Amino acid sequence: MDSAIRLRGLHKRYGDTIAVADLDLDIEPGEFFSMLGPSGSGKTTVLRCIAGFEQPTRGTVALFGTDVTALAPFARPVNTVFQDYALFPHLSVIANVEYGLRVAGVGRKERRARAEEALGQVRLAGFEARRPHELSGGQRQRVALARAIVLRPQALLLDEPLGALDLKLREQMQVELKELQRALGITFVFVTHDQDEALTLSDRVAVFDAGEVVQLGTPRDVYDHPRNRFIASFVGSSTLLEPAVSAALGLGSQAMAVRPERVTLDAATGGVPGTIAEVIYTGPEHRIVVDLDGLGARITALEPNMGAQNSRSRGDRVTVSVEPAAAAPLEAEPDAA
Amino acid sequence: MTTRSVSAFLAPRRRLQLAGLLTPPVLWLGLVYVVALAALLVTAFWTVDELTGQVQIEWTTDNVVEVLTEALYRTVTLRTLGIAVLVTVLDIIVAVPVAFFMAKIARPRMRHLLVIAVLAPLWASYLVKVYAWRALLSSEGLIEWAVSPFGLDTPGYGIVGVVLTLSYLWLPYVIMPIYAGFDRVPDRLLEASADLGAKGWTTLIAVVMPMIRPAIIAGSIFAFSLSLGDYITTGIVGGTTQMLGNLVYANVGAANNLPLAAAISLIPIGIILLYLAAVRRTGALRSL
């Protein structure tokens, strides 16, 4: 079977700036694929090259086995949900959703029926006659979704679609997006700088940095086995252990990253002694920073909040241990300072 | 009182601040526009002593009735209206593509140069520009030279000359609001339209035009109202053509009949008010 989206040697430069560097990427049909990275890492440029808003400097974009590199956006079988929604302000909600169908020459009756169905799918029935400016951010987001899915695209491109929503609404929309993707069974390509969002939603995540994919894999791959320092610190939080510290903890002799929730304090046997430097109460858990004796290094541990019984305080003496399987060896970075 | 104590006194008194800010402009607007216009309206109902030529405060509707019934005024009104409509349409036809290019295609540097180029004629004297057109239109002028190889002649001095010259004069006033209108259409919307399957032309008709319609109407108000009141251009490049403004001017000057002049001037004022009332509903006045 052909990939839903296949990028080969995709390269985009603006003047002297390389936005995307010779990228090869295959996104499979029916996959929820996230492109995660800090701003300016090239993820949005890749999405815009897939949609056709940007012409790559070189390289090809193929959708479902067809090379579309030279095709205009209107000729590509994908639709986009824009970060700022890009709803037509002079059209009502239903007219916004019907727009693509009207352009395609779909008859009035079918148009209306399909638009209403799409609005139902995003739970926005009853808002047909409103204008975009009369809607909340979350509702606009739903209109933008309905407007894109009503055309039954083979792949849906989403450019930070939840970026402008507040936290509660964002979490709710995440669930709905996932459900929608399952119900439609089409490829979703989701651009975000929010690692939580990418981990929660995706089948696979590509982490971008400086125009390149640094790591590509399932959320578990990326979170549990960050390849290098950038991933370890950008996706979730981790403590980076220098080779000497790794060795002291019995993990081997290279730099490692360890997630705070995999660090055990006061294990039954062994462990490196240290002093608690800071206890941060976050509600569901305690974040405990420990100064390791004689190593000049700190390590962070997470302990669930179980009430007073496991509370610790600054200055307490503890031992720190990390299971070898819980630490991820990091690739040496020749260009890292 | 020192400055400090004045500010201390005013700080909590918002209404007093507002009054201080608004009184001078309100007085100015009141005097210049309202009072002057009211005086004009009133004059239309006065009369002129035929012997002395003095305006007499003697109430009569003769002037207004004359203006509304005489064939001369109807003809000139229709001609003026026709010229104003033609000028407006011509200006819009030229302004829309120029404004589109400026707002959506030109790079920032080019855009800046174009804005200056569009505005520059406004910094030159009105008379200089109209006399330049007189030279252009003359029988030895540039237009004659350019079109004669095709067996054509310069339109010379007449209605066509007036329409061309007025279109030229008011073009910047039409381009600028339409340019601002295009500028307010986010590029994202054009992309969204393309993404939903619309080709460039469809996007222009279905998305861009509805969004800049108020801006086009705003521009048309300038071209229309300025044309309606003009008389100098007609005098210079119009040959024997007369517009309402020429009749007003003749009655103020040569005929020395201020009340009749006032009555004639009520016609363009009435037309403009009707026009504004018609466009008010389109929301265009908000995009001025």
* pLDDT tens-digit readout, A26-72: 999 999 999 999 988 999 999 999 999 999 999 999 999 999 999 99
Q: Decide if A142 contacts A106 (C-beta within 8 A).
A: no
pLDDT above 60 for A334: no
pLDDT given for residue A289 in this prediction: 93
CB contact under 8 A, A73 and B202: no
SS3 A321: strand
pLDDT given for residue A209 in this prediction: 93
The residues facing A290 across adjacent strands are A276, A299
pLDDT given for residue A57 in this prediction: 94
Provide ipTM, 2 decimals: 0.84
Which residues of A touch chain B, with CB atoms under 8 Å apart?
51-53, 72-74, 79-80, 82, 84, 86-90, 99-100, 102-104, 147-148, 151
pLDDT in tens, B216-261: 998 999 999 999 989 899 989 888 888 988 888 888 877 778 888 8
pLDDT given for residue A337 in this prediction: 41
Q: Does B212 touch chain A (CB under 8 A)?
A: no
Same domain, A113 and A159: yes
* pLDDT category of residue A301 using cuts at 50, 70 and 90: very high
Same domain, A274 and A224: no
Same domain, A113 and A260: no
Residue of chain A minimizing CA distance to B199: A74
Helix boundaries (H) for chain B: 3-10, 14-29, 36-43, 62-69, 71-100, 108-119, 126-137, 142-147, 159-183, 187-195, 200-203, 209-228, 232-237, 244-252, 258-280
Q: Decide if B224 contacts B86 (C-beta within 8 A).
A: no
CA separation for the pair B221, B60 (Å, rounded):
33
Same domain, A281 and A215: no
- For residue B97, the distance in angstroms to the closest alpha carbon of chain A comes to 22
CA separation for the pair A221, A190 (Å, rounded):
18
Domain limits of chain B? 70-287
Token digits of residue A83: 């970060």
CA separation for the pair A258, A298 (Å, rounded):
12
The residues facing A299 across adjacent strands are A290
pLDDT (average), residues B69-75: 88
Note whether residue A335 is domain-resident.
no
CA separation for the pair A81, A190 (Å, rounded):
10
Token digits of residue A3: 């990939």
Q: Does B287 touch chain A (CB under 8 A)?
A: no
**Weakest-pLDDT range from B68-82, B95-109, B249-263:** B249-263
Q: Decide if A72 contacts B181 (C-beta within 8 A).
A: no
Helix boundaries (H) for chain A: 43-51, 93-103, 108-121, 137-149, 167-184, 195-201, 219-224, 229-234, 243-248
Same domain, A245 and A161: no
* pLDDT category of residue A237 using cuts at 50, 70 and 90: confident
Which of A86, A90, A104 lies at the smallest CB-CB distance from B192?
A: A86
* pLDDT category of residue A336 using cuts at 50, 70 and 90: very low
Q: State what percent of residues in chain A have pLDDT above 90.
A: 65
**Weakest-pLDDT range from A110-124, A179-193, B61-75, B96-110:** B61-75
CB atoms < 10 A from the CB of A73, how many?
25
Which of B188, B191, B197 lies at the smallest CB-CB distance from A103?
A: B197
Q: Which of A180, A205, A233 is the last residue of a domain?
A: A233
CB atoms < 10 A from the CB of B5, how many?
9
Q: Which of A180, A213, A233 is the last residue of a domain?
A: A233
Phi, psi of A307 (to 5 degrees): 85, -160
Q: Which residues of A touch B198 (CB under 8 A)?
A: 74, 99-100, 103
Q: What is the CATH number for A256?
A: 2.40.50.140
pLDDT given for residue A110 in this prediction: 95
Q: State what percent of residues in chain B have pLDDT above 70.
A: 97
Q: Which residues of B touch A87 (CB under 8 A)?
A: 192
Residue of chain B minimizing CA distance to A98: B196
- For residue B194, the distance in angstroms to the closest alpha carbon of chain A comes to 5
CATH class of B70-287: mainly alpha
The residues facing A26 across adjacent strands are A6
pLDDT in tens, A84-106: 899 999 999 999 999 999 999 99
In the block, which residue shows the tokens 């203006």? Answer: B67
CB atoms < 10 A from the CB of B85, how many?
16
Average pLDDT, chain B: 88
In the block, which residue shows the tokens 């066509």? Answer: B160
Same domain, A46 and A172: yes
SS3 A77: coil
Q: What is the CATH number for A88?
A: 3.40.50.300
Amino acid at A252: G
pLDDT given for residue B284 in this prediction: 66
pLDDT above 70 for A335: no
Q: Which domain holds residue A17?
A: 5-233
Q: Which of A205, A233, A261 is the last residue of a domain?
A: A233
